[in-house]
Structure formats: structure tokens, C-alpha cells
Amino acid sequence: MNKRNIARLGIWLFSVLLLAVALSSCSKEERYDGYFHFSKHGGPMDFNIEMEGETLSVQINGKTSEPSFYTIDNNDNDNSHWFVELDWLRAYYNPKSHNLFVSADENTTGANRKAYVTGFLNGSMKIIEIDQDY
């Protein structure tokens, strides 16, 4: 493992730990930095928020995504973004436009679903709550 991968893994582990602490101390009235609601059919939504793209992660039912990675669009550098996915949810963050794009698959589970997309800005965790109907 090279130093960059070790650093990314360290950031990822730190964000998982902080998310666990933050979610365990959240009350029902606590506000998140953002909220997405998807119908059963899923689809895309976007949200304007500033964060450090390398800290982007997705949490679903106690599972956390692998660390995010940066994709470069050689044809249009303005569309290069950080990307992460887990199970039924994908998140993309464009650091130039501060746009978070979230896409959910159709929900065929028979139950409502919940997930969290997180990232950091200057050491402060940003939490976006996601829910999806069945």
C-alpha cells in the first residue's frame, strides 16, 4: 500500500468513527445538513453543499462504503468528481460546483430504506439523510 492509499484509508476510518458517534448521539429533532427523499422508483437528485470530496462516504444499515475515488473527465474537467457507492445508492461530488448528486435504485425490498451520505468540511462532519419509500 502506498502512502496515498494509507492516508485515504485513515481518513475513511476516521469518518466512519465520527459518523458512528454522530449518529448515536442524534436525537429525532436534530437537523441534518441535507435531506433527500426518493420514491419507490428511485432516480437522481442533487444538492448544493460544500465538503472535502475525498471524505465522501455512504452508510447503509451499519455498513460503510469503500473510500471515495476521484474520476477525471478528460473531455470536460469541470465534470470531474468524487464517487462512492454502496448497495442501492451512489453519490458523486463535484468540488468545483459544490454539487452532490445522489442516485438510488428502484426499491423492490418490500420496506422503506434509509441511508446517510457524509463528508467533512474543515473538520466538521456534513450528514445528508436519505430515505426511500417502498
According to the model, what pLDDT value does residue 28 have? 45
State the Cα–Cα distance between residues 2 and 122, nearest whole angstrom: 25
The pLDDT value given to residue 26 = 52
Cα dist. 44→23, 49, 130 in Å?
25, 16, 12
C-alpha cell at 86: 454502496
Q: Domain range spanning residue 89?
A: 3-132
Say which CATH number the domain at 112 has: 2.60.40.10
pLDDT at 134: 94
Per-residue pLDDT of the chain (134 residues; tens, 9 = 90+): 677 777 777 776 776 666 666 555 554 445 789 999 999 999 999 989 999 999 999 999 999 999 999 998 777 777 789 999 999 999 999 999 999 999 999 999 999 999 999 999 999 999 999 999 99
- Structural domain tally of the chain? 1
Q: Residue 37: its pLDDT value, please?
A: 96
